[in-house]
Structures are given as structure tokens and as C-alpha cells.
Structure 1
Amino acid sequence: MNRRAPLTVAIGLTAALALAGCSADSSANSSVDAGKASGAKPELKVTGAYMPQPPVTDLAAGFLIVTNDGGADKLTSVTSDISDNISIHQTVNDRMQEVTSFGIPADGTLDLERGGNHIMFMDLKRKPLQGQKVDVVLHFEKSGPVTVELPVKEPTYNPPKQ
């Protein structure tokens, strides 16, 4: 993995997300049904996936919603042929921070959205263009891997709220 000086990475990530049209909303929506048995198998469905066309830099962000109709699970990593350097980030008080996983509560959701938690692609091998699709594999703690297509949208794209 190519390591850069922390300040350079922080500046680059901030610039990329700003150019991609990130908002200042740092909330990540989730819900939990306390009545769901903790041993139930997760039942995951991914919707609303997209990647804003990245700016001139070698960084991009990915957004999606994971809905869970079963027991709790965790998103632990993301892989793709577009980059060997992909991480998941949470946003708290308008600051990004890499995390090792995102919990997906039983009968709840994980929203990866602009201005909030997201997938970060660094050191892109190619710059995806609007209209193309980027294949990613989401890796979960309990569920098997899930392959998702991220349609590349215009930099200012904001999906309708579901």
C-alpha cells in the first residue's frame, strides 16, 4: 500500500469530496428493532448505489444504502479493480475518519451518503466517466460478499430520498 504524508492525504480527500459536492450533513441514518433475535441471519439488500464522477484527482467516493431484514451484520471492507486502496470512512463534525467497519443493525439500514459515512477510493487506476459503472465487492462479517455496480453520475448528483 502506498503511504502518503497524513497532511497530503487529508488535504486531497477534503478537496475530492468538496469537488464531488459533499454536503455538510454528517448524519448516518440507521434503525434497530430490539425484538429481532441476535442470532438471526442477516438479509442484506443494496440500493441507491452511485459514484459521482471524480474530479481531476485520483480520488473518488462511493455511496449506497444497505437494508437489513435479518440479524445484525457489519460491513468490513470494499474491494474493486478500480483501486487497490479503498477504505470506509465515517464523518463526524464535518471530519472524515477511516474506520474498520460499519455496523448494520438487525432490521435496520446503513446509509453511506454525501456529507456522511462513505466509501473512499484512493490512487485510482483509471478515472471513471459519467455513464460508466464501477464494480465493487462489499465484504461483510457474517454475510457473504455482495457485488454491486456503482453507476458514475455527474459530480453534483444527489439521489432522491427513499
Structure 2
Amino acid sequence: MTFKTTFAASVAAICFAGAAFAADITVTDSYARVSSKAAKSGAAFMMIENASDSDDRLIAAHSDAAKLVQLHTHKEGENGVMQMLHVEEGFAVAASATHMLQRGGDHVMLMGLTRPLEHGDTVDLTLVFEKAGEVTVTVPVDLERKADHGAMKHSH
């Protein structure tokens, strides 16, 4: 990629990574990844904020970029090996709280990709909440992002 192309892709990703809103749900800091150009699956990560005074729940997601989209998490198995699991009940997003979808934890899994996802591309992803309804997010594909970028830091 030339500098001009890389710069244009970066500017587009920043613009598309803006917040998405529905009722009192805000989705920010979203990005998607694949492990290689030939990957048949990928994942999306983001920060979900619930500004309402009642709990909500992310119950589903869908995208034209994949044949199957599921909510997944990682859990340590009995033998100490991490396993990725489909979370059918979805993710609780408590009132006046934030829920992070991040690498090594809860995330949106994109399986059976309908096209290759390359750095600088975008994926339209619709998140479905029990109370807030649908929130559509344009998620930039960022293959250079570090695993802890955007992670919430808590100090005591």
C-alpha cells in the first residue's frame, strides 16, 4: 500500500469507528480482526455502554459479511485450556455500566466469511438488544491493533 492509500484507509476507519446509538445504548471503539487473509472466520470487539437506569442484554448479532454470526466468550476448561463457547443467552449490559467485548473474552464471532477481510475494510454489524432493539455499527477491520488497545484500565 502506498502512503496515500494507507492514510485514506486510516481516515476512513476512524470515521467509521464512530459511536452508534440506540435509545440509551452506545457502541464505541469497535474493530474486527481475522487471523490471516485466507481465514474463514473473524471476530469483532467493541465497548457497549448502557446509559439507562435498567439492565439490557445483547442477545444476537448479524452481518452480511458472514454466513453465521454468534456471541462467543472464552472460558478455561477443566484441563486449563481456553475454549471458545457460543453464549446463547447473550451478554448482560447492566444499567449505567459498560460491557467490553474484547480479545480473550466476550466477542462477536463471524463464521463463514462471505469475503476476505483486509486491513482498512469495514463490516456492517447489527447488534440486537432485548430492550434497546437493533444497533447497526460500521466496524473497521484493524489487523494491526494490539490486544489490549482500548481496554479499560482500573487503578486502586
Once the two structures are superposed, the pairs formed by residues 1-162 of structure 1 within 5 Å of their partners are: 43-55=24-36, 56-70=38-52, 71-93=54-76, 94-100=82-88, 101-158=90-147, 159-162=149-152
* CA deviation after TM superposition for structure 1 residue 157, in Å: 3.4
Q: In 2, Cα distance between the equivalents of 1:121 and 1:79?
A: 9
RMSD value, Cα: 1.5
- Runs of 4+ in structure 1 displaced over 2 angstroms? 155-162
* CA deviation after TM superposition for structure 1 residue 110, in Å: 1.3
Unmatched tracts of structure 1, length 5 or more? 1-41
Letter in 2 for 1:95: Q
Q: Quick one: percent identity of the two aligned structures?
A: 31
Count of aligned pairs between the two proteins: 121
CA 1:85–1:155 in structure 2 vs 1: closer, same or farther (change >3 Å)? farther
Q: TM-score, normalised by structure 2?
A: 0.72
* CA deviation after TM superposition for structure 1 residue 84, in Å: 2.3
Letter in 1 for 2:51: D
Q: What's the secondary structure of 1:145's corresponding residue?
A: strand
Q: What's the secondary structure of 1:160's corresponding residue?
A: coil
CA 1:107–1:76 in structure 2 vs 1: closer, same or farther (change >3 Å)? same
Query: Which structure has greater strand proportion?
Result: 2
* CA deviation after TM superposition for structure 1 residue 131, in Å: 0.6
Unmatched tracts of structure 2, length 5 or more? 1-22, 77-81
* CA deviation after TM superposition for structure 1 residue 54, in Å: 4.1
